[in-house]
Amino acid sequence: MSAQSRKVLQVLKGETLSPPPIWLMRQAGRYLPEYRQTRKQAGSFLDLCYSPEMAVEVTLQPIRRYGFDAAILFSDILVIPDALKRNVRFEEGHGPRMDPIAAEEIGKLDVKPVSSHLRPVIETVARLRQELPVETTLLGFCGAPWTVATYMIAGQGTPDQAPARLFAYRHPKEFDRLLALLADVSADYLVEQIDAGADAVQIFDSWAGVLGESEFKRYAVEPVRRMIDSVRARRPQAKIIAFAKGAGILLKDYRQATRADSIGLDWSVPLSFAAELQKDGPVQGNLDPMRVVAGGQALDEGIDAILQRLGHGPLIFNLGHGITPQADPDHVSRLVARVRGTSA
């Protein structure tokens, strides 16, 4: 076995593998009792993200349990606003909070300390590459500028990102400046992850789906294109997955415009359309995470439909969004076995 046997990486290079490789978004998380155990010891969620030892441990937990084909660095997209001194905290039962940014503050953001603030995360990547099985692909990640900006503006999660949409209409210049700044620091951060040993990276644009057509081009496509160009200018071989949740038919142009190697598909993307997208290159997705909660027939049928429609082209099997805390760990075992054709 060698680095050549990293299946997720092989698919990102355009190969079709049967069975397809599998990993799950948020595969390290609260549905696993061993995660909840480490999480309790860590104190705050950010302490967990910035402790290489504990972050390595929780990244490896789902690999040990299920033997996924890829490990994703344990961290969060909000370490970037944290590094930008936005007072990020994760409150029990409330999700993330930070100080909402005003238009006048954007020009004053200081990017200089970002890289040193994120050193522990880069250290986690380096240690992971040492500790992972050689055949496991190591994925780094960051948030897309639009999604990170929605949290910076609202100061918290919201159902439809109305505060960020309104801000963008009222303060278009400042908003463009914020997205460009986030694109630049995030590109540097991805290059550091790649240099530390990440085989590929994923850009999460979890809130792309709330944007209108022209805003999607300006706020989802442009900044991600800028990031990918910047990474490729320095690391031409970099493999990049872009996940624009809720982008629907706009995904057709998204891959071409951003030049991502693979696009992530959420569960609302029809499989007929997914098959069309797959003609342009590898796709990743797109099982509804609720099927993993339900288990049984709902799980099996969802898996089979994806394998049937997308299994004959370059596919990385995944969920259409992160696995939820109420998922049963045994359902995940069943999912992995069924995708690999090893179920009883």
User: Would you say 73 or 181 has its CB closer to ligand CP3?
Assistant: 73
C-alpha closest to that of 157 among 167, 147, 166: 147
Residue ranges of the alpha helices (H) in the chain?
7-12, 33-42, 45-49, 52-66, 79-83, 114-117, 119-131, 145-154, 162-170, 172-196, 213-215, 222-234, 251-258, 271-279, 289-294, 296-310, 329-340
Q: Residue 118 CB, nearest distance to ligand CP3 (Å)? A: 15
To the query of whether residue 226 is one of the catalytic residues in this protein, the response is: no
C-alpha closest to that of 333 among 324, 343, 325, 323: 343
Look up residue 104 and give its DSSP letter.
Answer: G
Q: How many CB atoms lie within 10 A of CB 19?
A: 16
Amino acid at 156: Q
To the query of whether residue 69 is one of the catalytic residues in this protein, the response is: no
The catalytically annotated residue of 39, 86, 97, 255 is 39
Q: Residue 1 CB, nearest distance to ligand CP3 (Å)? A: 24
To the query of whether residue 151 is one of the catalytic residues in this protein, the response is: yes
To the query of whether residue 232 is one of the catalytic residues in this protein, the response is: no
User: Would you say 185 or 313 has its CB closer to ligand CP3?
Assistant: 185
Residues lying near ligand CP3 in the complex (CB under 6 A) are found at 25-30, 39, 45, 72, 74, 76-78, 90, 95-96, 141, 147, 157, 204, 206, 322
User: Would you say 45 or 267 has its CB closer to ligand CP3?
Assistant: 45
Residue facing ligand CP3 at closest CB distance: 206
Q: How many CB atoms lie within 10 A of CB 87?
A: 11
User: Would you say 55 or 313 has its CB closer to ligand CP3?
Assistant: 55
The catalytically annotated residue of 6, 50, 69, 76 is 76
Q: Residue 10 CB, nearest distance to ligand CP3 (Å)? A: 21
For the annotated catalytic residues, the residue numbers are 26, 30, 39, 76, 151
